[in-house]
A = this chain, B = another copy of it.
Amino acid sequence: MKQKITAVPSIRRLPSYLHIIRGAKDDGQEYISGTVIAQELHLEPIQVRKDLAITGIVGKPKKGYPVVALMAAIEHFLGWDEMQQAVLVGAGNLGTALCGYQGFHFHGLNIVAAFDSDPQKIGTSIHGVHVFSLETLSHQVRTLKASIAIVTVPSQFAQDVTNMLVEAGITAIWNFTNIKLNVPDSVVVQKEDLSSGYAMLCVMMNAQKNRETQ
């Protein structure tokens, strides 16, 4: 049985806090208050303080949080203070977009290789990431000491690719397909579901319409 992760919404908000705190640091600020962060993100200050508390940091009354220590606390909590080697499987449009996403480097995520079965893609580079044949996956994952795999293959290939990744020693899978992957208990999977975000947008639209007709 896998450990249950509590405070999921708080964890999901931490990257947006980090983004703002980094901006404050770049502006030369020494302290940042929970209220300022809350205003930027349209959240309640009490919520921001609760969320930040999970990293173990406590603000000072009137001054707020020391910017450098706060950044370090969040990054350490998320494990983003250590660089992680990742491979990407499926060099299609989504895979290409992810390889080009600048933000990942800030988060300690280093995509070191991509894999595809399309001979036209094998041997090319996408945003500086070399595309290898899927047949070399097991060998490359071990050589590159990658622990994370980003899966962006068409859904019908997702489970087979996952089996190869687990066999090769991958312990964390970021799943962008719309199927639920079967993995051993020792492997963690984060499934990205675009529909969740669209559901949120729709519920906000409905709430807005109801407000306007009231």
Q: Which residues of A contact B (CB under 8 A)?
A: 2-3, 5, 8-9, 11-16, 19, 40-42, 77-80, 84, 92-94, 96-98, 100-101, 103-104, 107, 109, 147-148, 171-172, 174, 178, 180, 186, 188, 190, 192-208, 211-212
Contact = CB atoms under 8 A, between A and B. Distances in A.
B190 A103 contact: no
Given A107-B198, A190-B201, 7 more contacts: A11-B196, A11-B200, A13-B196, A15-B195, A79-B203, A94-B94, A174-B198
A178 B11 contact: no
A180 to B, nearest CB: 7
Chain A to chain B: the 3 pairs with minimum beta-carbon distance, closest first: A15-B195, A190-B201, A93-B97
A79 B192 contact: no
Nearest to A77: B203
A41 B180 contact: yes
Contacts of A77: 203
Contacts of A204: 5, 172, 188, 190
Nearest to A198: B107
Given A171-B205, A201-B172, A92 B103 contact: no
A180 B40 contact: yes
Given A11-B203, A188-B208, A199-B15, A100 B93 contact: yes
A127 B28 CA distance: 46
B188 A192 contact: no
